[in-house]
Amino acid sequence: MSKTEEQDRYRVKSLVGAGEMTEDVLARSTMHADYVDHFFVDVAVAATPERWARAMFGDVPTAAERFIWQGLLQLKLIGGWTPTSVAGWRIAEATSQWIRLETRSHSLTVHLVIHAANGRLELTTFVRYDRGLGRWVWVPLSAVHRRLAPSVLTDAISRLGSRATPRV
């Protein structure tokens, strides 16, 4: 099945902009964000938010993730596997329903929140521009991010196999 067919099968939906988010979604980050997007898909969730996060991003970042996160965005990542990080991002907070991963560069602070509850899997990205360079770097890359995010969810669903099935 192609990525497009997989995304259509699971009907990944998105919202962009803080004004489009519910208070519940915004409350999962501890910072005022300049950019927020939210991707969600209905599934029969049979995994913890941390397990979903590791299915999305792995224990350590791939070469492509390192290129984007460290190379282009200059984000600081934790080296190697640790129980307190996912793909080099520090686990800042975790509940039974969601996990927040955090990292930063000299010009950006970024939070990724994976929410898994009530038959829905969600990925929310919060970005704060700490310096003018942050906006200059993130704005064009955010278009790439929005193109890639749906496949991050559908790939995670595929990785967890029968533990996640489409809801009809």
Q: What is the pLDDT of residue 165?
A: 45
Q: What is the pLDDT of residue 19?
A: 84
Q: What is the pLDDT of residue 119?
A: 84
Over the stretch 75-112, which tens digit does the pLDDT of each residue have?
Answer: 999 988 999 999 999 999 999 999 999 999 999 999 99
> Which residues does residue 89 pair with via DSSP β-bridges, in sequence order?
86
Residue 84: other Cβ atoms inside 10 A: 9
Q: Is the pTM of the predicted complex or chain greater than 0.85?
A: yes
- CB-based contacts of 124: which residues, under 8 Å, 6+ apart? 21, 25, 28, 29, 36, 37, 38, 39, 112, 113, 115
Stretches in the chain below the pLDDT threshold 50: 6-7, 162-168
DSSP E strands: which ranges in the chain? 13-16, 35-42, 85-86, 89-94, 98-104, 108-117, 120-129
